[in-house]
Amino acid sequence: MNPAFDGAAWRKSRRSQQTTDQCVEVAAVHGYMGVRDSKDPDGPQLILAADDWRTFVARHQASPGR
């Protein structure tokens, strides 16, 4: 677990299925975004700079067949 994200306010991603446990959680801390599996909150986290996160989301939204 990344120490900078200890105590972060994790929330279920808006794109996750709200009625299942198949989802990811995201949190913002000091200009970074963290992503983790909601079923394994103590497991690995993907940490991205906020600008990289915005690029990732924009490219995903623009991709056909998403």
pTM, rounded to two decimals: 0.75
pLDDT: is 5 or 32 the higher one?
32
Q: What is the rounded CA–CA span in Å between residue 3 and residue 51?
A: 21
> Across-strand partners of 29?
32
pLDDT digits (tens, 9 = 90+) for 10-59: 998 776 666 666 788 999 999 999 999 988 988 899 999 999 999 988 99
Distances 24 to 29, 39, 50 between C-alpha atoms, Å: 17, 8, 17
Spatial neighbors of 43 by CB under 8 A, at least 6 apart, are 36, 37
Amino acid occupying residue 31: G
